[in-house]
Structure 1
Amino acid sequence: MDVSVGECGTILVAPAASIGDGSAPARGPDFTRAVLDVAGAVLTWPVLGAPGPPSAQVHDAGRAQQWLWALYGERVALAVHERATGRAAGSPARVRVPADLTALAGDAARLALGHWTARWWPASYPDGIPVLAPDVLGVETAALTHRCQQLFDDGGDQPDDCAAELVDEHRAALAPLIQWWLAAPTSTPTARRLEAVLFLVDAAADAAGLDGPALRHLRAALAERPSTGAPADPGTLFARRTGYALAAGAPTAGGGRVIARGAGTNDWRRYPPGFVDAAEDAVSWTARALGAQRRIEVEVLAHGRAPSGAPLVAEVCVNGVHRGRVPLARRDDLWAGHGDLDLNGGLLPGAQPPRVEVAVVLPGFDPGPAPEPAPEPSIGPDAVPGAGAVDDRAARDAVRALARRRLAAAAPDLPYDVPPHAAASVPFLAETAAAATAADEDY
């Protein structure tokens, strides 16, 4: 690991290969990094890279010393301490020291990946990537949070430290998880994985003083472990909701003459998880001429658990100029809407086809568009959709490939206890359940 002093006295810890200009670890799109806020620091793992110790930006070395040695080993902890206290005067600005493979490093990587999965899992019907049950993932994240308590303190500035909140929010998954565990033969890796998670959840709830019917049922099951005698299919226990509640709002308007159509930009960063299908071509648009009017219609594939009534909008730009936003309403498995736009002469017959860019966003959540390369050529009514692709499309494709690999590996006979450097590669229980559910559904 390279240990150095960054801007404002921040101590940087990073794998040697990830250092670019020496000032900070190399970075990529948000959705290619798993991040964990811990006591005195922020830890970062590359989701698409090889497993290994995380990069760290240590802003309070005193608080971080409680976990640095357990995460990286004593040599890295000492190097950080020396640079934080000024005892490294006269030594190189950057020092390279070996890190140890520790159990805490593996657990922390898995916890960070759990948070990443809750935010960035690329669920998509056309891409064949099933939705993960959020409560099942939340329960396992709670268990991992409790296991990683050494990373946290009572500073109150760590949003990832509260196992009790996760248990309370996702306790609906406890009953089916218990049923799955009780039905699994005790000697199987699946039963051991389930048991490890349930015991950690019980410990986290007990430490926080949580109570309630679901937690009392959990404690009784852990104390007695009565076998149900019947196999439990996780695909049945965690079957996804089918169908959609209809949202208010009229469908897109037809009629008129189609003068252009294309695919919009599906930037995962511009809306919360669980709203839009993650497919690259989930956003499509059609421009029509209705007399002198120019109307744009937008359709967006909805996520399998998309809420109704959310104020999603489609942001429309023509030739790089913002032309307005089109409100979208949920109807069946689509977000859809249409709007009349003042295009100042654009989209006229015989004129050079303009460059139309459409992106779906949630106002108030949207951080703004990602940087884009030179735009692709405009397309007309008969062209193949594909305009508006952003420069991180390759990264999104890599994330989809990662999700498919994890689902393919989500077999019930995988062990729970693995070497620290491989802990994050073990599928989550939510992935195992999703793989089983997808086998029974049209994916």
Structure 2
Amino acid sequence: MAAETEVRVGRADDGTIRITAAAPGTHRPAFTQAVLDVAGAVLVWPVAEDPGPPTAYVHDVGRAQQWLWAVYGERTAAAVHACAAAEPDELRAAADATALAGSAARLAFGHWAARWWPASYPDQIPALEPDVLGLELAALSCQCQQLFDSDSLDDQPDDCAAQLIGEHQAGLDPLIRWWHSVPAPSDTARLLENVLRLVDAAADNAGLDTTALRRLRSSLDQRPAPGGLFTRPGGPGGYALAAGTAHVPSGRVIARGTGVNDWRRYPPGLVDAAENAVTWTARATGARREIEVEVLADAVAPAVGVPLVAEVRVDGGTADRIRLGRRDDLWTGRADLNVPATGQPHLDVQVLLPGFDPGAGADVRADRDAIRSLVRRRLAAGAEPAPRTSPMGPFLAEIAAATTTEEDY
């Protein structure tokens, strides 16, 4: 990030103050934005671009003053105060490249990765270990504590260091073994030690005391000695063959194709992120027409009873929904299809989770491709022994994932 960046500070009709360094543009899908809920504001960075100053939507200037100067510098903080006082509607100010801005961008990207990382078996993009990522997010939350306050309003869900440690403390022992196994002067060793010490500090501040945390504290009090190689706790493993009695399709194939895999229409952990993860086949048996939909599943087993469905439109007509069931590596479902007896129907097939789904939107395939390119570059960086001094260098979970071989995956 440059030493200084010009930003615009303006007041909206509802009183919200907006800080932005980018020219107004078209609305981008949620999976291209890294978002952080902080005291009195929401901060947003474009994921696939260099992390310059974030766009900020400040709804409580009083609460935001505790971090505005530390993220943007004094001149931008003063401009926000002036706009909030109903002086000018818009001001230009210089934003400084601050340490807290870099740490906040990294924390926001980590939360983005926990939500949107496009893990895919056919695309050879390995999943990130939840415990490894969760513990680094806890460390970053501790490092970025100035962004949060103790206000009772429930508008800071990203201030969750204690919760993250509680959920992911099973990853502490593997991280300690990894720390012991790498040469002390290396960037990875420094990153591991920094994460572990921040986790220890966050746990101490929250009053957490568990056996795993006591082992962590003991390890930090000693000089680490060389040990065994880091062993990833678990991992997606290979895709198993479907068990049980498989459906044997019958009838003449009249059409087949690939559906749209829109990441916005279901939560993470259900569907493989590949562009061709949704496939369908239409068959004819006499006068009957039937469609079978197959969706490549994510490696993580979902909760029982998840009502994932396929949405099918014939020639742009009304959408029909087909309930999908999970069998090992596939979600599958079948239903009768109302299509003309002659001619080639045009079928549009998408997968979604009712109740979560925001509805079909514009085609954002180019944005999905850009995200896949981004994570491949980050994985390549995680596999290289180059210095990782940038605030947006690889996360520990990315470094671990970069070592995943095709056989492991």
TM above 0.5, yes or no, is yes
Instruction: Give the structure 2 partner of residue 11 of structure 1.
Output: 17
Match of 2:350 among 359, 364, 370: 359
Any gaps of 5 or more consecutive residues in structure 2?
1-6
- Counterparts of 1:196-215 in structure 2 under 5 Å? 196-215=194-213
Matched, 1:116 2:138: no
- Kindly state the Cα deviation for residue 302 of structure 1 after the two structures are TM-superposed: 1.1
Match of 1:437 among 395, 400, 404: 404
Structure 2 contact 177–227 (Cα < 8 Å) conserved: no
Instruction: Give the structure 1 partner of residue 84 of structure 2.
Output: 84
Matched, 1:290 2:290: no
Match of 1:265 among 256, 260, 263: 260
- Counterparts of 1:156-305 in structure 2 under 5 Å? 156-227=154-225, 229-232=226-229, 234=230, 236-238=231-233, 240-243=235-238, 251-305=246-300
Matched, 1:73 2:78: no
Aligned length: 400
Q: Which amino acid aligns with 1:35?
A: V
Q: C-alpha deviations, 1:92-128, integer Å up to 9, x for none?
A: x321111000000000000000010011111111111
- Kindly state the Cα deviation for residue 327 of structure 1 after the two structures are TM-superposed: 1.6
Q: C-alpha deviations, 1:4-37, integer Å up to 9, x for none?
A: 111301111000x3334xxxxx531111110011
Match of 1:96 among 92, 95, 98: 92
Residues 3, 288 of structure 1: CA spacing in aligned structure 2 closer, same or farther, 3 A cutoff? same
SS of alignment partner, residue 175 of structure 1: helix
> Highest relative contact order (Cα 8 Å, sep 6+), 1 or 2?
1
Q: C-alpha deviations, 1:128-173, integer Å up to 9, x for none?
A: 1111111111110111011101111123311111110111111111
Q: C-alpha deviations, 1:300-338, integer Å up to 9, x for none?
A: 111122426332111111122234221222223111121
> Matched residues, percent identical?
60
Q: Distance in 1 between matches of 2:200 and 2:400?
A: 21
Structure 1 contact 34–115 (Cα < 8 Å) conserved: yes
Matched, 1:348 2:341: yes
Structure 2 contact 83–90 (Cα < 8 Å) conserved: no
Q: C-alpha deviations, 1:187-210, integer Å up to 9, x for none?
A: 221111000000011111111111
After TM superposition, the structure 1 stretch with the greater mean CA deviation from structure 2, 141-150 or 298-307, is 298-307
- Kindly state the Cα deviation for residue 51 of structure 1 after the two structures are TM-superposed: 2.4
Structure 2 contact 272–296 (Cα < 8 Å) conserved: yes
Instruction: Give the structure 2 partner of residue 407 of structure 1.
Output: 379
Q: Which amino acid aligns with 2:341?
A: L
After TM superposition, the structure 1 stretch with the greater mean CA deviation from structure 2, 66-75 or 42-51, is 42-51
Structure 2 contact 240–329 (Cα < 8 Å) conserved: no
- Kindly state the Cα deviation for residue 413 of structure 1 after the two structures are TM-superposed: 3.6
- Kindly state the Cα deviation for residue 251 of structure 1 after the two structures are TM-superposed: 4.0
- Kindly state the Cα deviation for residue 247 of structure 1 after the two structures are TM-superposed: 8.6
Instruction: Give the structure 2 partner of residue 428 of structure 1.
Output: 395
Structure 2 contact 72–96 (Cα < 8 Å) conserved: yes
Q: C-alpha deviations, 1:324-367, integer Å up to 9, x for none?
A: 221222223111121123x1xx2423x2x222111111122111
Q: Distance in 1 between matches of 2:403 and 2:340?
A: 48
| Alignment RMSD | 2.0
Q: Which amino acid aligns with 1:230?
A: G
SS of alignment partner, residue 128 of structure 1: coil
Structure 1 contact 294–347 (Cα < 8 Å) conserved: no
Q: Distance in 2 between matches of 1:102 and 1:308?
A: 42
- Kindly state the Cα deviation for residue 186 of structure 1 after the two structures are TM-superposed: 1.7
Structure 2 contact 238–408 (Cα < 8 Å) conserved: no
Q: Distance in 1 between matches of 2:371 and 2:155?
A: 29
Residues 246, 157 of structure 1: CA spacing in aligned structure 2 closer, same or farther, 3 A cutoff? farther
Instruction: Give the structure 2 partner of residue 107 of structure 1.
Output: 103
Instruction: Give the structure 2 partner of residue 23 of structure 1.
Output: none
Residues 411, 247 of structure 1: CA spacing in aligned structure 2 closer, same or farther, 3 A cutoff? closer
Q: Distance in 2 between matches of 1:224 and 1:322?
A: 66
TM-score, structure 2 normalization:
0.93
Matched, 1:393 2:365: yes
Q: Distance in 1 between matches of 2:232 and 2:69?
A: 41
